[in-house]
Structure 1
Amino acid sequence: MMASTGSATELAVTTTPIPGMLVLTLPMPGDNRGWFKENWQREKMLKLGLPDFGPVQNNMSFNTAKGATRGLHAEPWDKYVSLATGRIMGAWVDLREGDSFGAKLSIEMGPETAVFVPRGVANGYQALEDGTAYTYLVNDHWSPEARSQYTYLNLADETAAIAWPIPLDQAEISDADKKHPRLADVTPMKPARTVVIGAKGQLGQSLMELLSEASGLTREELDVTDREAVQAFNWNGVGTIINAAAYTAVDVAETDEGRKDCWAANVHAVQNLVEVARERRIRLVHVSSDYVFDGTEQEHDEDEAFSPLGVYGQTKAAGDALVATLPRHYVVRTSWVIGGGKNFVGIMADLANKGVKPTVVADQYGRLTFTQDLAAGIVHLLQTDAEPGTYNLTNTGEVQSWADIAKQVFVRCGKSADDVTPVSTQEYAAGKKISPRPTHSGLKLDKIIAAGFTPAPASQRLDELLG
């Protein structure tokens, strides 16, 4: 595709055949003294569809003579390119892994035009006038290690067939650029990596099953409570962090030692991840809890104010508040999680099979959340690039008490529902030191459903688990 640009009186942003790449037309009012332009105006450009890509470095490049040509370089960051003086022919080829691999665009540019180039789209430029000066913003700092992540395409590739105004045999090209591979030999640039913190936990395991190319980290591999370790970790090429790790021993959290551990894992660790995510423009997904509420409302929506009752809930609320300060974040609030390893359903099934008749709390109400659905909902938010913010995510179905669920487990195990004796929280807690629990833990699911993800009914997952 070849396009040309002209003068304009209003800022405009247009899409291109390369997904995510944008062309901007910049007004340039002037008089006998010269011209002026708003080369980068975040507020106006965001309103017209430019991503809030968060530039951290501004570079300039100067070509002395007409014919200087460079490229094609696909870089591991987003890039906003414009000219201060002169004219060029710009060419871009999508080298990202996926259906758009090989898509191309060519534009003649002067100071009146700018382009937004997403990570993994190769850039090539040819100066059409002497004394051409480029300026570009990038959202990561250049480093030798970052340079090793580049992907390249030969300027003369026959498949892309870029119509350079000045034939390449008459252009000034570096020896390195002459040696780049043809499109058939290019290894596509993979998407920015996803890192799952707490990969061996219940949710972490479900996430790793769905995100086969994600990097999973255990506490032994990265202790996120250690700020120095988090800062020193190699975050190059990471686009998303999913924090599936947490301190969840709600009763132990009420002890002196447990309180410290709970704050370390649920607040200080989150603060460390938020700091890295902010510095490097990484999207952060954080898993929250119904315990941030006191449970007086029958069901809780995403906008309800925090009102935690115990230490665990207080730390989760503090972690949520930290994550919400990031522009690119998802707080995924859930309750009553069931996954691999020790969990309520497994314990009840084991008791049923052993002939034990338990007493179970009947005045706490909520919905189960199976980790396969929790993980699938998180992946859905990431893949659809849903609006940042907080999303409630549990399985669907009726709000029930723990005793109701225990009875269902017993019946599915071939036992009588009457084998489960309902008791009050006060009766259950007699003689024990436990954390206060919210009475009502049901979470409204309208927002996640409106975002295109409807979790399976909890009863269906119980059938599958106990089938």
Structure 2
Amino acid sequence: MTVTEYGKQLFVTETSIPGLVVFDLPVHGDARGWFKENWQREKMTALGLADFGPVQNNISFNDAVGTTRGIHAEPWDKWVSVATGRIFGAWVDLREGPSFGAVFTTELDPSRAIFVPRGVGNSYQTLEPDTAYTYLVNDHWSPDAAYSFLNLADETAAIDWPIPLSDVEISPKDLAHPRLAEVIPIPPKKILVLGANGQLGRALRAEYGDAPHVEYTDRTELDITAPGLADARRWRDYGTIINAAAYTKVDAAETPEGRREAWAGNVAGVAALARVATANGITLVHVSSDYVFDGTLGRPYREDDPVAPLGVYGQTKAAADAAVATVPRHYIVRTSWVIGEGNNFARTMASLAERGINPKVVDDQTGRLTFTDDIARGIRHLLETGAPCGTYNLTGTGDPQTWADIARQVFELTGHDPARITGVTTDEYFATATTPIAPRPRNSVLDLSKIEGTGWQSAASAEKLVTYGGRVTS
């Protein structure tokens, strides 16, 4: 390395392959030698590099000029640099998608490094003797991992090797790799949907469909409260876990048995998920509730308002939020008054109307309906737009309503007289209850400014109920 390469500023250069980024590194040297910060998490993530969590450091020492290795695409990210010597590097995108087959080449010496995202094929040719090629990776080698390979001489990639491949040392394995037309692309990391048979789970199924990288499971297949969760999957193959499962029996949670079940499913299980996500660099999406608030605030609740749950269910959801917030990459999606396929408030009101029953409905709780298909679309929006991690309120929009307002709207939509609804207070409604009743927040209106700032727009609750009206009796 020449003296003129000393003293460069830390600098980032994007490449023609998405996510493949070259870094110029400051190297400090004198007559004794040189020093550099080969990997500095705080500085490099500040420049936009993913906090990829390396777990292993490897070094490949190459004796002779012209040693050529690759093209290997592994299911993990790499931080590649040169400790001594110089290489010509070639990278080929072997991931599923529009950039499949894209090629980037450059030289690396101790003053340059490159971040190689999962699924991008990596190869190099040494240009100086005694070259030490180093790389940090964020997973341990596994025989069960999915790899992909490309022949160094592939005509489509058409890499212009400085030294002809006929004149260099290549392993028999590398010589036998397939051409691009025969390469099996590396799929994206998996998305695991928990609670896939519940109301939100079914909406997520409809949203993601049969995409091969999306896996759906329920408690019979994966119980997050059971021992052994950490070894239940090869978790490094997963990029996202969407937790659509929860204990939601608000009143039953006030009983001794229900309290135990609520804390097991909503807290202990979620805490175990959080540990798995943290250990494996997974994005954890968790669905929370307006019940984490006491409902006494005179305005819509923001994401940063202090939680103050009134009952056991709300306490477990608040505790789960705290556990999920420890995961480096997380989304807590806080919602309220959920309506989805299956039993729900709208269908109950439609059934009462059809049977000639004139119900008493609570009119001192205020909020907005949220439809499960909107929650599913909102979750996908946060993930695919790369919105900053954190907590987001996600409900329907429009003027807040009471439960009695919504009941009257359902009666009207189904051709019945809305005047048949009698509004009562929460205390009046539950006055004759013989089993424990959970306290309800009176104000469940959530401020949507934060998620709307990401470009998301929910449907208006009242208008969505109109389009949903044809299904409330089905």
Question: For residues 252 and 284 of structure 1, what CA distance do their matches in structure 2 show?
Answer: 27
1:449 corresponds in structure 2 to 452
Q: Which residue of 2 aligns with 1:228?
A: 228
Matched residue, 1:267? 267
Q: Deviations over 1:213-256 (max 9, x none)?
A: 21001100000111314433332411000000000000000000
Residue deviations 1:47-103, cap 9 Å, x none? 112111111111111112111111111111111000111111100011111111111
Distance 2:6 2:72 in 1: 29
| Structure 2 unaligned spans of 5+ | none
Correspondence for 1:141: 140
* 1:258 aligned counterpart, secondary structure: helix
Aligned to 2:216: 216
Is 1:101 paired with 2:100?
Answer: yes
The CA distance in 1 between the partners of 2:445 and 2:439, in whole Å, is 16
2:204 corresponds to which of 190, 202, 207: 207
Measure, in 2, the Cα distance between the counterparts of 1:384 and 1:352. 43
1:447 is displaced (CA, Å) by 0.8
Partners in 1 of 2:300 and 2:420 — Cα distance? 29
Question: Secondary structure of 1:299's partner?
Answer: coil
SS of 1:145's partner is: coil
Q: Secondary structure at the match of 1:239?
A: strand
Distance 2:199 2:227 in 1: 25
Q: 1:40 and 1:168 mapped to 2: Cα distance?
A: 32
Name the CA distance, whole Å, in 2 between partners of 1:332 and 1:231: 27
| Structure 2 residue identity aligned to 1:189 | I
Cα RMSD (Å): 1.2
Distance (whole Å) between structure 2 residues aligned to residue 159 and residue 31 of structure 1: 44
Matched letter for residue 176 of structure 1: K
For this pair of structures, how many residues does the alignment match? 461
Structure 2 residue aligned with 1:405: 406
Deviates more, 1:6-15 or 1:336-345: 6-15
**C-alpha contact (below 8 Å) 1:231/1:276 kept by paired residues:** no
Equivalent AA in structure 2 for residue 96 of structure 1: R
Residue 191 (1) aligns with residue 188 (2)? yes
State the SS of the aligned residue for 1:107.
strand
Distance in 1 separating the partners of 2:6 and 2:73: 29
The corresponding residue for 2:159 is 162
Is 1:245 aligned with 2:242?
no
State the shift of 1:395 in Å: 1.0
In structure 2, relative to structure 1, the CA distance for the partners of 1:201 and 1:159 (3 Å cut) is same
Matched to 1:84, the amino acid is A
Q: How many Å separate the matches in 2 of 1:175 and 1:392?
A: 56
1-side partners of 2:455 and 2:442: how far apart? 29
The offset of 1:7, in angstroms, is 4.8
Q: Which residue of 1 aligns with 2:439?
A: 436
> Which residue does 1:313 correspond to in 2?
314
**Per-residue displacement from partner, 1:102-130 (whole Å, max 9, x unpaired)?**
11110111111100011111101111111
CA contact (8 A) 1:223 1:230 kept: no
Could you tell me whether the CA contact under 8 Å between 1:238 and 1:282 is conserved in 2?
Answer: yes
Q: Residue 270 of structure 1: CA displacement?
A: 0.4
Q: CA deviation at 1:6?
A: 5.0
Is the contact made by 2:5 and 2:27 (CA closer than 8 Å) also made in structure 1? no
- Answer yes or no: is the 8 Å Cα contact 2:236–2:281 preserved in 1: no
**1:90–1:8 CA distance, 2 compared to 1 (3 A):** farther
**CA–CA distance in 2 between the matches of 1:463 and 1:177?**
62
Specify the alignment match of 1:380 in structure 2.
381
**Residue deviations 1:336-383, cap 9 Å, x none?**
110011111111111112221111000001000100000000000011
| AA matched with 2:453 | A
Q: Distance in 1 between matches of 2:230 and 2:252?
A: 26
Aligned partner of residue 300 in structure 1, secondary structure: coil
- 1:132 to partner: Cα distance: 0.9
Question: How far, CA to CA, are the matches of 2:277 and 2:356 in structure 1?
Answer: 50
Q: Secondary structure at the match of 1:133?
A: strand
Task: Tell me the CA shift for residue 26 of structure 1.
Answer: 0.7
Instruction: Please state if 1:458 is matched with 2:461.
Output: yes
Cα offsets for 1:282-337 (capped at 9, x unmatched) = 01000000000000113100000110000000000000001001110000000011
Q: Which amino acid aligns with 1:365?
A: T
Q: Look up the match of 1:421.
A: 422
Letter in 1 for 2:345: F
CA distance in 1, matches of 2:140, 2:296: 48
TM-score for the superposition, normalised by structure 2: 0.95
Q: Is the 8 A contact 1:89 1:107 kept in 2?
A: yes
**Distance across 2 between alignment mates of 1:400 and 1:25:** 57
SS in 2 for 1:341: coil
TM (normalized to structure 1)? Answer: 0.97
* Distance in 2, Cα, partners of 1:91 & 1:181: 16
Q: CA deviation at 1:188?
A: 1.7
